[in-house]
Amino acid sequence: MGEFKVHRVRFFGYMPSGIRCMSFNERAERLALGRLDGTLEIFNFKDSFYQEKVIPGNDSRSVEAVCWVAERLFTAGLNGEITEYDLENLCPKYSLDAFGGPIWTVACNAQGTHLAVGCEDGSIKLFEILPEKIRFERNLDRQKGRVLSLSWHESGTRIAAGMLDMIRIFDVQSGHATHRMLVDRGVSGMRNHECVVWCVAFLSDLTVISTDSSGKVQVWNAAMGILSSTHLVSKSDVLSLAVSKDESSFVVGTSEGTVVQFQFLANILGGDEKAWVRTKTFKPHTHDVRALAEIGTAVVSGGLDTQLVVRPLLDKVDIMSYDNVLHKIHFPHRSLVSCAQKAGMLLFQFPAQLEVWRLGESEGRGEFCLGTREKWIPFQGEDHISCSAISPCGGWLAYSTVSSLRVYRLQCDEHVSISKVPKLPKVLRSAHQLSFSDDSSKLFAASTHSMVHVISLSQSECKHLHTFKPKSGSTEPVHLLAASKDGKWLAAANRGCEIHIYNLHKLKPHCTVPIYGSCPTAMGIHPTSNNLLMVHADRQIFEYSIVEKQYTDWSRRVQREGLHKLWLERDTPVTHVTFNPRNAAQFMLHDTYMFCIIDQSLPLPDNKCQFYNQITLKSLSEQERLSHAHAFKMCTKYQHLLFLGLLDDESLVVVQRPLTDIASQLPAPVRLKKFAT
């Protein structure tokens, strides 16, 4: 197998941002997630919870609430604006000021015709949804006190609004409040504090559920305006609420990190008299649970501890499968690290800055790699960085935001000096993905409408050579780019699962890889054979011969024999492919919890054989070892991997970000009494 010198890097201070809100689109099975830094992420729940799209945030824009209207996505924030997004170009489409001060909540009616927003000044504003934009329609009766939560009744004629110390039911037609339901402030010590109704949900049987800052979950009868039951869930706030589609259960999230499920159960089995009963309690988080969604078979929760947890409801699950186990998503499903193989430099991408590090030498075996932070590039402007790349020679650096793209020249001697390339071709306005060719002479920038611009880089100038357009006419953004070592081929994968191969010599599209139903998460072109290796979100591996325009024999064998069950059940997607220069039959994959060397010359494991067999193999003799060996060599020594790549001196770079480091940077959680302490 060979030995590698490992640079174990732990100096990437990546810090994900806390989750603020989420909204689940039933039809498309996509979850939109808003983070505290304004980033929007879209997860495809059909495709192994793959993080499909990321819309970088903006310092001036906060996301307080997110709302799907059919396939359109709206957010509202404390800057008082409602924003619609362009999901193809991954940027805001337009913003509209509601003129009501900061917006706390946005809700769409079941018919998809109106948006209601709740503002700081106590007004609830209705916006009509038009095909291309939204238009302010009218205000409901203005009240005193901010509106923190809104929920439409299914019929679209009533709105429940959670405010300070009260819940109001509005009649949409007249705009008047029909009921005013006062929420108890809770325990005596909290009498002076206002009770904030964090969430309301209007059920079709005119029941309103509210959660508030005194730890109560209350069920109200909105027809009569009376309280039907109170459940004390927490000593601190209950911050989030999500009702299941069939309205038979709801979940609430507390600031203690617990998620409590309530179910609408008959008192007598088979009887008609039903009541909301508190049933299960989970503790998926350590901090505030700010966002919740109940998606039929699972509860999705997110909070200030930055992780997204998909917890299956086992009573609704028929067959145990990959989709029905607990998932915790800590890291983005794209690479934030790029590596200059020849120069031994790493580029780390932060939302508002870039860091260039030069790898040093570690003193002894197993020591962590030392690095020197060469350059810190703070970013001017409000938009966050969407992608970045460093050239293999370490001489060029490029990054892009939603609005601009910049290329820098790096001078590597004792210290790295940086200079901005002044004149860029006009076509380079922004990019979804950036990549350099192996000889660092070309920059590939994936732009809008799946276009890929090829820019030749030289000391004197940057010249736009060509723009490839996909034949399919797809407009989905490109998220992966791979150039061959010999500089002849370029593969581009977009979110529509298409992979196009372009000939860089002829500057012509070469072919399209047959579309597979799952989105590719990592790909690479083999340095010698020019075979394109692709790993998809469902962890299937394909190898496609670019020259022959067909799948290779090995790929066909993989498809025929199938991959091992344990491989298919791995929790996180493969984010990077590297080829072993010493052995053409070997390539390396990594996900968050392991890296794996796949040897194409060895037989594939079948479901019966032991998958993680390294320890067993160690104990066997040479002859037996051969008979037991299979293609997958797993290494779980390095956990929480953000990047794993090979340098040109054939040493391995492992970039880790331990979760404990992330947890230590989080604010202190709500203090809980622990038994026997």
Partner 1 sequence: MVASAEVRVARCGGSRINFIEPIITLDSRFLLCASGDAVHVYSTSTEERVHVLQGHVDLVTGLRLNSSNHLQVYSCSLDGTVKLWDFTDGILIKTYIVGHKIFSLYVSKFHEGTVFIILPMESSANTEAFQLVALHLPKTTGPEVEARDILSVLRDVSPIPKATSFGRGGEFVASASGLQLSVYFFRKQKTYRFSLKANDKKGARNRFTCVASHPNDDCIATGHEDGKIRLWRNFSQKKEYTYSTEHWHHSAVNALHFTPEGTELLSGGVESVLVLWRYGAGSKKDFVPRLGSAIEHISVSPDGSLYCTSHKDNKIVVMKSSRDISAIIQGLVKGETIRTDLLIDPRTKALVCNGKPGHLQFFSLRHDKQLYNLDIVQQEYIHEAGLHQCEVTKAAIDAQGSWLATVEERQENPEELDIILKLWAYDESTQSFHLNTSISMAHEGQISAMCFSGDAEATMLVTTGRDGHFKAWLLADHPDAQGEGASWSCDYVGSYHRREPTRCCFSADGSLLAVGFGEVVTVWSPSTWELLVTFSQPPGDIRDLCFGRLSCSKYLLGTTTKNLLCCWNLLTCSLEWSSTVDVILLQPDPLSENMAAFSRASGSTDLFVFKPSEPRPLFSQKAVCSGTVRRAVFAPREEVLEGCDESTQWLSCSRLYFLTEHMELMTFSTKSEEDQIIASSKQLVIDDSVAVTPFYLLLGKHRKSQRETQDSVSSHTAARIQLPQGSPAIRELLHTPAHVLPSASFLCNMFVNSLLISKSGVREDGRCREEEMGSEEEEEAEEQESEGEMEASVSAQGPAVQGFQTEPTPQLSKAQERELRKLQKADFSWLSSLLDS
Q: List interacting residues with partner 1 (CB under 8 A).
A: 229, 231-233, 261, 263, 265-270, 275, 277-281, 314-318, 675-676
Q: How far is the CB of 670 from partner 1 (least distance, A)?
A: 17
Q: Output 270 or 473, the one with its CB closest to partner 1.
A: 270
CA distances from 630 to 41, 564, 634, 638, 659 (A): 38, 11, 11, 21, 32
323 class by beta-carbon count within 10 Å (0-12 exposed, 13-18 middle, 19+ buried): middle
Handedness of CA 376, 381, 383, 386 (dihedral sign): negative
3-state secondary structure 230-286: EEECCCCCEEEEEECCCCCEEEEEECCCCEEEEEEEECCCCCCCEEEEEEEEECCCC
Q: How far is the CB of 673 from partner 1 (least distance, A)?
A: 13
Q: Quickly list DSSP for 463-508.
A: EEEEEE--TT---SPEEEEEE-TTS-EEEEEETTS-EEEEETTTTE
Helix (H, G, I), strand (E, B) or coil at 622: helix
Helix (H, G, I), strand (E, B) or coil at 167: strand
Alpha helices per DSSP H over 622-672: 622-628, 659-665
Q: Output 263 or 651, the one with its CB closest to partner 1.
A: 263
Q: How far is the CB of 246 from partner 1 (least distance, A)?
A: 12
Q: How far is the CB of 672 from partner 1 (least distance, A)?
A: 13
Q: How far is the CB of 263 from partner 1 (least distance, A)?
A: 6
What's the CA gap between 541 and 516, in Å, rounded? 11
Q: How far is the CB of 248 from partner 1 (least distance, A)?
A: 9
Q: Are 595 and 635 in contact (CB under 8 A)?
A: yes
What's the CA gap between 244 and 298, in Å, rounded? 10
Q: What is the CA radius of gyration of the chain?
A: 27
Q: How far is the CB of 268 from partner 1 (least distance, A)?
A: 5
Helix (H, G, I), strand (E, B) or coil at 200: strand
Pairing of strands 651-656, 5-9: parallel
Q: How far is the CB of 277 from partner 1 (least distance, A)?
A: 6
Q: Output 297 or 456, the one with its CB closest to partner 1.
A: 297
Q: Output 157 or 267, the one with its CB closest to partner 1.
A: 267
Q: Output 623 or 675, the one with its CB closest to partner 1.
A: 675
Q: Output 269 or 668, the one with its CB closest to partner 1.
A: 269
Q: Output 280 or 406, the one with its CB closest to partner 1.
A: 280
Q: Output 182 or 314, the one with its CB closest to partner 1.
A: 314
Q: How far is the CB of 278 from partner 1 (least distance, A)?
A: 5
What's the CA gap between 369 and 348, in Å, rounded? 16
Alpha helices per DSSP H over 81-177: none
Q: How far is the CB of 234 from partner 1 (least distance, A)?
A: 10
Q: Output 246 or 361, the one with its CB closest to partner 1.
A: 246
Q: How many helices (H) and strands (E) does the chain have?
A: 5, 55
